Structure 1
Amino acid sequence: MLSSAEYIQLSLESNLFWVRIMKEHAIFIESAMPPPLNHIARQAEHFKQQFAVLLSETIRHANGLVSSGALQSGQYYTNFTEAAEQAVQNSTGIGTDGYLTQMEYNIEPLTTYSITPETEDAVNQLNGYILNMVNAFAAFKADLLDNQSACRIFTLLYTADISHILHEAQRYIQLLTGLQNKDENFNQNYAEFWNQNMAEHAKSMRGLFDPSETAFINEADRYGRVFDALAQVPTISALPDTKDISAFKATATQGMLSCKVKAIMSPLYTDHNLREANHYIHLMQP
């Protein structure tokens, strides 16, 4: 069973990562809806706003209670995040809440534990709020996936991508449920989950580079095959390959921001995938 100190730290470190991921899923959904699906775009905007509030609350509670390793891992923001957020806001008109990234820069790392029952109660309450919101968001994604799979709607998202972001919401629900039970094994089987995720990132990116970007397409295809193989044997360390795909995603993000790499995906999408790779690296490192 997790101690109170472990419960607080692990909850906040997890929420700093996952709430931002959920918020950006809402942005990606909203930006991919054609005019006849404006009602879905409005629902996605509502979820984005709710997750922005929850991320702000998480940042407020996290100050002085999360490890320096987590803060420096590149899983919460990268050197590209602010610029990527601004680029998406400029191109789509969707607010990306860049002030939250700036707030994250100022989170102080854990030095000594100063845990009170009030702190634990506040984190417990925050986890509960987040869990309710992610459950609702997962149901929204499942409905979106069902409608697109049945050809009742058309969006600018791959059906596989909708399935991917649904699985991520379901994974977050499992993690939060485990944390609320103070289960020390709340993040078990993470390698199996993240190897599959890395493979799916590579395959989606492969199909979103401009056809002229042959080198990037071929490299993405190679990473898809590498992580498909790793997903079959999760006991093999994926750390070297995850560091490699992280660098690949960083190069793609930088290239799109400087208009040197052509693609029909946003730099926020690739930066989002980069942070997920960095999160996996953080989990694998002692």
Structure 2
Amino acid sequence: MADQFVVRSLEEIRFWSRIMKEHSLFLKLGFNCDDTQLINEADRFYRVFEDIENRSHSYSADSDPQTIYEFNNIVHQAVCHIWAFKRKVLGLILHCKILGNNFPLLVDHVSREANYFMKRLEQLNTGTLDALPDAVINENVFFLRIMADHAKFINHLLDPSERKLVEQARDFSHDFDQLLFQAIDLDSMRPQSQTQPLLDQFVDQNRVSVRQLRDFKKTAHELIEACRIKSIIPPLLADHVFREASHFLEILDSFDHALTKAR
């Protein structure tokens, strides 16, 4: 169990610290040049999470659990601070105190991911990870919304003349909205909805859709890197959303394995 705690903690921190680092950069790029205080804050968070990411790779599965417990607490504090920064930026945008190129939904989106990371660190350090039936629903409600958001961002950042890709992104947005509503319905029917057949079907259906979106993002990233399509999507952002889809797919695969063993 101690080894599992160490491995799970390092996996979460390595993945999400890189995501938080990149969020800092994306927010910075979306500020106006005269928003110097916000730009400096974003730069500071970039350095903080770059250091956390680098430090996480200095540990291994053999590391002392108490050391990792303390590291989790340090990371948790940093994530709390970047969550507060993101919510502050969202407030400034919604109250028309700053302009720029950061969509309010994007800022809300990245703050939701910080909140997820915070809660995961808390669960790891208190040993209160969700039981499988709850985890299946909770993770899907969270990540399906993330995937739906990604499709909307891609749609709005592609050049309008890229009509086929815009249409594909719009279709993915609609599909993942529907999958999210279905997940929310399953959530509201708990615990009666947490039967093996329903959860099996739920995971199988979502895996198919996430795999299709992951492949679309992979193709988009390759086209953007090769300068073969017109957009204002930085290659790093395209890779960022691809990695998140791949991460969600790994979670769904693990659920499928666990549900199969539980039969």
Displacement of 1:220 after TM fit? 0.5
Residue type matched to 2:33 in 1? P
* Counterpart residue number, 1:55: 53
The amino acid across from 2:160 in the alignment is P
**Are 1:280 and 2:241 an aligned pair?**
no
Tell me the TM-score normalised to structure 2 length. 0.85
Which of 197, 203, 226 is 2:175 aligned to? Answer: 226
How far residue 283 of structure 1 moved from its aligned partner, in angstroms, is: 0.3
Residue 16 of structure 1 deviates from its aligned partner by 1.1
Shift of 1:248: 0.6
Aligned-CA RMSD value: 1.3
What is the rounded CA distance, in whole Å, between the counterparts of 1:8 and 1:173 in structure 2?
A: 17
Tell me the number of residue pairs that the alignment of Structure 1 and Structure 2 aligns: 231
The superposition leaves residues 9-60 of structure 1 with CA deviations (integer Å, 9 ceiling, x where unpaired) of 1111111111100000001011111111021011000000010000001111
2:157 to 208, 221, 229: 208
Give 1:184 shift. 3.0
Correspondence for 1:198 among 132, 147, 152: 147
Other-structure match for 1:144 = 89
Gaps of 5+ in 2: 184-198, 258-263
Letter in 2 for 1:194: F
Offset of 1:282 from its aligned partner?
Answer: 0.4
SS of aligned partner of 2:34: helix
Give the counterpart of 2:109 among 164, 187, 199.
164
Inter-partner Cα distance in structure 1 for 2:229 and 2:249: 25
Runs of 4+ aligned residues of structure 1 deviating over 4 Å after TM superposition are none
- Higher relative CO (Cα under 8 Å, sequence separation at least 6) belongs to 1
Question: Given the alignment of the two structures, is residue 36 of structure 1 paired with residue 34 of structure 2, yes or no?
Answer: yes
Structure having the larger proportion of residues in helix? 2
In 1, Cα distance between equivalents of 2:99 and 2:16: 27
Equivalent of residue 231 in structure 2, options 256, 260, 263: 263
Residue 178 in structure 1 maps to residue 123 in structure 2? yes
Quote the Cα distance in structure 2 between the aligned partners of 1:190 and 1:53: 28
Task: Give distance in 1, aligned partners of 2:139 and 2:98.
Answer: 33
Q: Please, which of 6, 9, 17 is the counterpart of residue 15 of structure 2? A: 17
Residue 166 (structure 2) pairs with residue 217 (structure 1): yes
Q: How does 1:60-99 map to 2 (within 5 A)?
A: 60-62=58-60, 65=61
Query: Pick from 72, 96, 105: which aligns with 1:127?
Result: 72
Give the aligned residue type for 1:275. Answer: R
Cα shift readout 1:90-143 (whole Å, capped 9, x = no counterpart): xxxxxxxxxxxxxxxxxxxxxxxxx4xx61122112111110000000000000
In 2, Cα distance between equivalents of 1:60 and 1:279: 22
Q: What letter matches 1:220 in structure 2?
A: A
Question: Which runs of 5 or more structure 1 residues have no equivalent in the other structure?
Answer: 66-114
In structure 1, what is the Cα distance between the partners aligned to 2:230 and 2:251? 32
**Once the two structures are superposed, what CA deviation does each residue of 1:186-226 show, in whole Å capped at 9, x if it has no partner?**
88310110011100000111000011111110000000011
Report the Cα offset of residue 267 of structure 1.
Answer: 1.0
How big is the shift at 1:165? 0.4
The 1-side partners of 2:33 and 2:5 are apart by 44
